[in-house]
Structure 1
Amino acid sequence: MSGEAPAFETISKDQFQREQQPKQRKFPLTPLSEIVIDDAEPEFLVEDIMPSRGLATIYGAPGSAKTFLAVDLALSVAGGAPFFGKEVSQGGVIYIAAEAGAGLKKRVIAARLEKEMPDSAPFAMIELAPNLGPKKNDTAALIADIKREWSYSAPVRLVVVDTLARTLRGDENSAIDMGAFVDNAAAIASAFNCLVVVVHHSGKDAARGMRGSSNLNGATDCEWQISGDRVRTVSLHKMKDAEDGLTWLFRLEQRQVSANSGKRSRSTCVVVPETSPKPIETKPTRPQPKGNRRLVLDAVYDALASHGEVMPVCNDLPRGRGVNRKYVRENAMLRGVGNPENPDGQRSLISKELGHLNAAGWLRQWGDWIWVP
């Protein structure tokens, strides 16, 4: 047996110190005692109706004023101005005008003037359409360019992507492609600890929500749907950590903005609030009309469809479509309401049934106009 001492491998001092240091944790644990709420971080971007971080959508049919509302939201955040009476968390805004870059400029200028904001507000626009889809996407380059070019002291709180259709180079109906878009939007939100708002289209059946794969709906923290024509309705369908089911109204009003030369002006519109966000009023159930009353109500619907028109501007008439009483009467007579051999009695019966329907809230009438509320 040899009397030689066993050989041991020696390590350097630097190697020893590295091995003694704890390895960086990929999935660190936070004990209960350290789970606290950071009061310095705002919970809402817009009080009660839009979160400060994550992914949100504003969607509606073509021509529903989605972009006008998105611009109004963006300028409210950049300027710290209330949005439909709600307080905002002021901060920087990046607006990706992927669908109407050149046309968006006058909308932004008009909204800034309407809100009496200085042009030094932390707002910047991108007039190109980055690829946020599944293949060869521009997400990393977009984040890097924003970080490199952002010159304001205010942190970025909002990135608007207008629209999804122009920035998803793929199939909206594909769960894989939509999932990639959602992941890229989440990467942007994470990079700036902000909210990403995506402007999107509703499907053919507006009642079924947004167009395309349900992956988007599943990933969103907040959803606003726009409906209506002259007076638009915004419906809050989904809101993380707050009450949903709120609605508010707005209309568009025309404004003129001047070009740099000042020699010619261009026309655009701005958002004018009609109401502030409030819970949807649930209407009590009412018995369905029967007999002659049902026939007269059906006559109103048919007359509106065939002879309806925009009612004149009048303090006693709402904005919207109505129909002249004579068309309702003619339609009711064709449906067999009353005795045609007694014209006066027939007209009286139709007027009486219209009065009952008005009292029950099925329709409204004033003068010769009848409309459905």
Structure 2
Amino acid sequence: MSDGTARDKEARKRVEEALVIPRRANGADDAASVADTAVLDDLHEADRLPLIFAQDIDGSMVAIPQLVEDILTEGGVAEIYGAPTVGKTYFVIECICSVARGVPFLGKRTVQGACVYVACESPASVKGRLLAYKLHHRIKDLPVAVVPQTLDLHDPEADTGRLITATDEAAKVLGKVKLIVIDTLARSMGDGDENSTRDMSAFVHNVTHLSRVTAATVLIVHHSGKDASRGARGSVVLLGGVDTEITATCDEISGIHTLEVLKQRDLSTRGLRLSARFIPVEIGTDCWGKPQTACVLEWVENSADASRPMPRGRTQGIVYAVMKALLQESKNFGKAGAPAGRPCVEVETVVPVIAERLLCRPGQRQYQVRRALTAMTGDGEIYQTTQGWLWIN
């Protein structure tokens, strides 16, 4: 319970006690009357809402403090989601390590502070990835603490308070905690149902409370649904409740992993994209003596891959997914002026193959495929085409 809440409850209790005191007769103890008045003043103060007057608003009041430049605000609640294997956790590990050291994250400045990583899903892999980061950057000390177990942040009486206490304990050792990661939402919902409006509302309320009490940014790792084009899995309450939503994707052909800011409540950076390559680092051996690796991120700066737009809408998403498989299987390279070694496909060959995957009327399918390919083709787009051959930009 916060100090402010405790004071409010104490003031209310004093007023309730005062209200049952019989009205004093004329000439009663003046000191007692003064005390009663003070109690009522306390109630008034406890119930008073804050007011901000427009005449007092200036530039200093609208400059939102940022933890990671253009991406995470200080004390906010954010969500990163994506399909399995796109590298969500690698991005998050890179982010917390950057904040812990106060160094740029994929070219974006950070405010230094300790971090707490709640590894609900795979504590061993989180530890391995932290080790890879330390080895790659040749550092020993890193102000990051890992909570290696699942938590229930759906029931307010379960683990929210324990996590606040753990954060306070980490701060005593590492310094002020600036970022708390919850990985993943599904493993921290307890008995809650992420598709339930009521249950997701409870979860959002608790992580918001966690952020307010600790004054740390909370970053939730989440999954996309079966149809990635429809966004994060579960109730839309999550989207409404977070300050920032980020999606992670991977282009398997180029090997480029990308973050894109889809929602930004307090900053004008919606649509920002940051990309990286994953570089394997050997971190030791397994029980059979075989080398084990984990990845670190290499920022892709000013790259055509980094700025390449992604599919927009359901039809483009289906076309893109099928094209990815067809290009990976292609035995044709460098056709019609494509870069040497770049896989290519013939447009007229792939259109009917992709059309079979669409759910619209049969007579409209090939038209919709051509329309989607046209929208995704050209300078600065996903694909390039010449003389009937198509390849990825």
TM-score (norm 1): 0.72
How far is 1:26 from its partner? 3.6
Task: Determine whether 1:146 maps to 2:172.
Answer: no
Structure 1 match to 2:329: 309
Structure 2 match to 1:288: none
CA-based RMSD of the aligned residues comes to: 4.1
Partners in 1 of 2:350 and 2:58 — Cα distance? 67
Matches within 5 A, 1:115-130: 115-119=137-141, 121-130=142-151
Partners in 2 of 1:151 and 1:312 — Cα distance? 60
Structure 1 match to 2:202: 180
Quick check: 96-105 or 109-118, which moved more? 109-118
Check 1:234–1:140 CA distance in 2 against 1; reply closer, same or farther (3 A cut): same
Amino acid at match of 2:164: I
Aligned to 2:173, the other structure's residue is in SS state coil
Amino acid at match of 2:239: N
| CA offset digits 1:116-155 (Å, max 9, x no partner) | 4441x32111001110114743111221232134323631
Task: Determine whether 1:92 maps to 2:114.
Answer: yes
Q: How many residues align?
A: 319
Check 1:78–1:308 CA distance in 2 against 1; reply closer, same or farther (3 A cut): closer
Task: Report which of the two has the higher share of helix.
Answer: 2
Structure 1 match to 2:370: none
Structure 2 match to 1:20: 38
How far is 1:271 from its partner? 1.5
Check 1:311–1:96 CA distance in 2 against 1; reply closer, same or farther (3 A cut): farther
Task: Determine whether 1:250 maps to 2:271.
Answer: no
Aligned to 1:83, the other structure's residue is in SS state coil
Aligned to 2:50, the other structure's residue is in SS state coil
Structure 2 match to 1:232: 257
Check 1:30–1:60 CA distance in 2 against 1; reply closer, same or farther (3 A cut): same
Partners in 1 of 2:282 and 2:322 — Cα distance? 40
Amino acid at match of 1:179: S
Task: Determine whether 1:74 maps to 2:93.
Answer: no
Amino acid at match of 2:274: W
Partners in 1 of 2:162 and 2:133 — Cα distance? 29
Partners in 2 of 1:36 and 1:7 — Cα distance? 52
Partners in 2 of 1:205 and 1:359 — Cα distance? 26
Partners in 2 of 1:88 and 1:264 — Cα distance? 37
Matches within 5 A, 1:1-373: 8-10=27-29, 16-17=34-35, 19-20=37-38, 22-23=41-42, 24-32=45-53, 43-119=65-141, 121-134=142-155, 136-152=157-173, 154-169=175-190, 170-228=192-250, 229=252, 230-243=255-268, 244-258=270-284, 266-275=292-301, 308-309=328-329, 316-317=339-340, 322-323=344-345, 363-364=384-385, 371-373=391-393
Residues 156 and 194, structure 1, Cα contact 8 Å, conserved in 2: yes
Check 1:135–1:148 CA distance in 2 against 1; reply closer, same or farther (3 A cut): closer
- Unmatched tracts of structure 2, length 5 or more: 1-24, 311-318, 352-376
Partners in 2 of 1:331 and 1:280 — Cα distance? 26
Partners in 1 of 2:175 and 2:323 — Cα distance? 57
| CA offset digits 1:284-337 (Å, max 9, x no partner) | xxxxxxxxxxxxxx9xx9998668427899994577x544x7xx78889xxxxx
Partners in 2 of 1:216 and 1:303 — Cα distance? 32
Aligned to 2:238, the other structure's residue is in SS state helix
Partners in 2 of 1:180 and 1:122 — Cα distance? 30
Residues 58 and 66, structure 1, Cα contact 8 Å, conserved in 2: yes
Check 1:274–1:331 CA distance in 2 against 1; reply closer, same or farther (3 A cut): closer
Check 1:69–1:276 CA distance in 2 against 1; reply closer, same or farther (3 A cut): farther
How far is 1:250 from its partner? 1.3
Check 1:10–1:36 CA distance in 2 against 1; reply closer, same or farther (3 A cut): farther
Partners in 2 of 1:195 and 1:95 — Cα distance? 12
Residues 311 and 317, structure 1, Cα contact 8 Å, conserved in 2: no
Aligned to 1:111, the other structure's residue is in SS state helix
| CA offset digits 1:69-100 (Å, max 9, x no partner) | 00000100001110111110111110001101
Residues 246 and 277, structure 1, Cα contact 8 Å, conserved in 2: no
Residues 332 and 344, structure 2, Cα contact 8 Å, conserved in 1: no
Partners in 2 of 1:12 and 1:135 — Cα distance? 43
Partners in 1 of 2:119 and 2:35 — Cα distance? 52
How far is 1:10 from its partner? 2.9
Check 1:57–1:305 CA distance in 2 against 1; reply closer, same or farther (3 A cut): closer
How far is 1:188 from its partner? 0.8
Partners in 1 of 2:350 and 2:232 — Cα distance? 38
How far is 1:239 from its partner? 1.3
When Rg is computed on C-alpha atoms for both structures, the one with the higher figure is 1
How far is 1:363 from its partner? 3.3
Aligned to 2:89, the other structure's residue is in SS state helix
How far is 1:275 from its partner? 2.8
| CA offset digits 1:204-246 (Å, max 9, x no partner) | 2212211000000011111111112321121111112222111
